[in-house]
Amino acid sequence: MRYIPFTISALVTFFFVTILNVQLPLGKTKSPRLGYFLSPQTGFWQNAEPTNVSFNDNINIEGIKNTTEVYFDDRLVPHIYADNDADAYFVQGFLHAKFRLWQMEFQTYIAAGRLSEITDESKLPTDKYLRRLGLLYGAENSLKAMEADAETKTMMDAYTAGINSYINQLKPTDIPFEYKLMNYKPEPWTNLKSALFLKLMSFDLAGGGEDDFLHTNTKNFFGIETYRQLFPDAMDSLDPIVPKGTTFQKPSINVKLPASYDSLYIGHSDSFKVNLPVVPDKDNGSNNWAVAGSKTKSGRPILCNDPHLGLNLPSLWYEVQITTPSHSTYGASFPGSPAVIIGFNDNCAWGVTNAGRDVKDFYEIQFKDSTMQDYWFNGAWKKTEFRKEIIKVKGKTDDVETIAMTVFGPVMYDKHYPAINKTDKCYAVKWKAHDASNELRTFYKLDRAKNYQDYIDAISTYQCPGQNFVFASKTGDIAIRQQGAFVAKWPHQGEFVMPGTDSSYLWQGTIPNAENPQMYNPARGFVSSANQMAVDRTYPYYLGEAGNFPIYRGLIINKKLAAMQNITVGDMQLMQTNNDNMLAQEAIPVMLPLINVSKLSPEEKQYFDLVTSWDLKNTPESKAATIFKNWWDTTMTLVYNDEYALSTLPLRRPYESTLLEALIKGKGNYAFADNINTPNVKETMADVALDAFKRVVKLAVTLDKDNMLVWGNFKDTKVAHFTKIDALSRLHVINGGGSYSINATKPDHGPSWRMIVHLTDTIEAYGLYPGGQSGNLGSKYYDTFIDYWAAGKYYPLLFIKKVEVATNNRVKWHMTFSNA
């Protein structure tokens, strides 16, 4: 009889051992290995961090040369003091790994097209897309340039060694939560991973979607004349980075228009179905500005920067101070990359915004046959090269992508990957991010810059993604330059898909740095950028279609700075978090007169009065801000949807400025206002605006019942974990702002780092980001800055010398690194 209990016990044990060590189906995904995940010894419980945790430590480790000290302040910001640069970057890598390992490695899995390897086959479309776009290819090319430079190679080697030193001593209990959740482990870091991370930023800021295909569809559908009305070359209300009326030098590159421009490019061509697995946010951008001492109360420059990116947990940024004999620098670093990216040192400060320039084009390739061994180029068949990409898939066989390589770049779309077209036609992508480049050199040099000439030297080799680098120094200089490897294009080159059969459509050169848009100590006393077009149309090179550049933040920033005098840091804090809606300031004066108030019901009149009495600010408690957004969006839909609905293919939508400037010019008359589905009635903008407002009131009544009409609740900002799991995110973060405010906060996107630097003798600096220094969900430092960020508050940044550390009451912990 005793064998029966033994048998039952054995079967139960076998059952639980089996079940708890497999991943069970869970909707569209799978559960973690529950035995491993729930284990009291090694599971997620071990990631809980005591609230009174101490970060004091003496670390004996191989790879460091001299004893290096780190002091953590009350916000867990490390202040690294090293005897040499290599040790500083070694420790930076160690700390990035200690506090952000899963995040930094996960982002490189995205960039390398390896998500299927750690998840499942559902991520294969994303992996294929990014492999064929060429992020891994571009990272490999750039790594060669980075490692050919002695300074950046030393920096990367030390940083990589620091990360691996942390990984090698990582105990199973301390493996970050997300690895346990997704059932995989960290792998050794390499310099290629840092290059991959930088290419991911190129994709986010200069990759865009496949706009060339949408533009081509739209041009084919409407014809070129109507297309130009919907997407004009210039906007009347533009206030560019370099003021209108600036005289530019004669261009050194004479760009030639192809002879077949009218027939092969502007004429009707193929149209495309577009189905993309991942597209960067179109609002990825930023604000930056610097004001000269002539406009400040102190007589010293003030520099401000707030890059607008996805709001994520863990944050994209990690604050750090690095001090060595060669420099002392404070600012925001990227976990996954050495150096400080946006920040300041003892002499100067710098910041960046996205340039928005088009450096990615598509070409139709004519292959000889289905083997794709030869393609037609310049009147002859040219041999194709091939690149093999092996994509590992968790629990499945490998997927092998064989990519044809041409003089135009990798063939992204073909019969093996028909995500754009269901035909046998093939399209290659030419992208500046494919070229070998060394962006790390720029940040290495900026961290050590002492003056304007050092700033110019630092950014002179920067290529992709193009950025507006703003600068200010203690000596009083302010400057801005739009820097990147910008293609010298003929007008509208790359707006549509181009023929890939000869060299006449290839890029003809790169604009010299000296001819890039730039300003140095302007008489007006400030420089600024907010992703608007850098120059007016007198600039001798084609910058791109005007709708690619948002105008409203640039308008309000320049307007405010021009009017300000005796500026203080407090003024800049209020301005950086300003909620004025610039689109509303421009649109309300032309929209309100369109409404015949006598046609409004008493309830509609009540909501109309909210708009007429609105202060035009997107404050969290404003109901009018919500009404206006929905009124404007509904008006845009009613104006254009009747024409757009006739197309079965995806088309590009006009920007807000197209409609608004048409209303300003036409005083309410606009051809697209007429609904083509009502041939016996000719609608005007007054009809459309009234119809749109009545529709919005119905929505407003419903929202008002649940207090969802107030802007902060309606916008409902969240800071999402990278996995997009709500339980790991911060939801319902109430704040103001919006796409057309300086405080450009959207539901999941906005100011990812705010920084203000006052360049006095002892630098006064303030900043914060919506996250926390630790990537550990079990740490109180995981999301500690979010509430301050949402409230528009700032932390004073502790930029101190080593000799001052012992007496500073904000310093909480001390960590030393010594050679084992």
Provide DSSP, 563-629: H--SB-HHHHHHHHT--B-HHHHHHHHHHGGG--GGGS-HHHHHHHHHHHT--SB--TT-SHHHHHH
Percent of the chain predicted with pLDDT > 90: 88
Over range 487-496, report the average pLDDT: 96
Over range 537-564, report the average pLDDT: 93
Burial-class residue 70 by CB neighbours within 10 Å (0-12, 13-18, 19+).
Answer: buried
> Tens digits of per-residue pLDDT, 6-37?
555 555 455 444 555 555 454 445 545 545 45
Q: Which two tokens stand for residue 369?
A: 């046959």
pLDDT of 443 over the 90 cut = yes
> Tens digits of per-residue pLDDT, 715-755?
999 999 999 999 999 999 999 999 999 999 999 999 999 99
> Tens digits of per-residue pLDDT, 50-97?
889 999 999 999 999 999 999 999 999 999 999 999 999 999 999 999
The owner of tokens 């073909």 is 414
Tell me the pLDDT band of 3, cut-offs 50, 70 and 90: low
User: For position 31, what pLDDT does the model report?
Assistant: 46
pLDDT of 4 over the 90 cut = no
Q: Which residues of 240-252 are buried (b: 16+ CB within 10 A; e: fewer)?
A: bbbeeeeeeeeee
User: For position 667, what pLDDT does the model report?
Assistant: 67
User: To 10 degrees, the CA torsion angle through 771, 776, 779, 785?
Assistant: 0
> Tens digits of per-residue pLDDT, 190-222?
999 999 999 999 999 976 668 999 999 999 999
pLDDT of 266 over the 50 cut = yes
User: For position 46, what pLDDT does the model report?
Assistant: 62
| Helix or strand (DSSP H, E) at 678 | none
Burial-class residue 766 by CB neighbours within 10 Å (0-12, 13-18, 19+).
Answer: buried
User: For position 666, what pLDDT does the model report?
Assistant: 83
Reduce the DSSP state of residue 117 to 3 states and report it: helix
User: Which has the higher per-residue pLDDT, 701 or 2?
Assistant: 701
User: For position 583, what pLDDT does the model report?
Assistant: 98
User: For position 783, what pLDDT does the model report?
Assistant: 97
The owner of tokens 């269901």 is 422
Is residue 498 left, alpha or beta, with left meaning phi > 0 and alpha meaning psi from -120 to 50? beta
Residue 656 main-chain phi, psi, to 5 deg: -55, -40
> Tens digits of per-residue pLDDT, 607-661?
999 999 999 999 999 999 999 999 999 999 999 999 999 999 999 999 999 999 9
> Tens digits of per-residue pLDDT, 137-161?
999 999 999 999 999 999 999 999 9
User: For position 278, what pLDDT does the model report?
Assistant: 87
Contact 673, 663 (CB under 8 A): no
Over range 400-419, report the average pLDDT: 95
Over range 95-118, report the average pLDDT: 98
Over range 329-344, report the average pLDDT: 98
Amino acid at 482: Q
User: For position 1, what pLDDT does the model report?
Assistant: 44
User: Which has the higher per-residue pLDDT, 278 or 243?
Assistant: 243
Residue 453 main-chain phi, psi, to 5 deg: -65, -35
User: To 10 degrees, the CA torsion angle through 264, 267, 273, 278?
Assistant: 70
Percent of the chain predicted with pLDDT > 70: 94
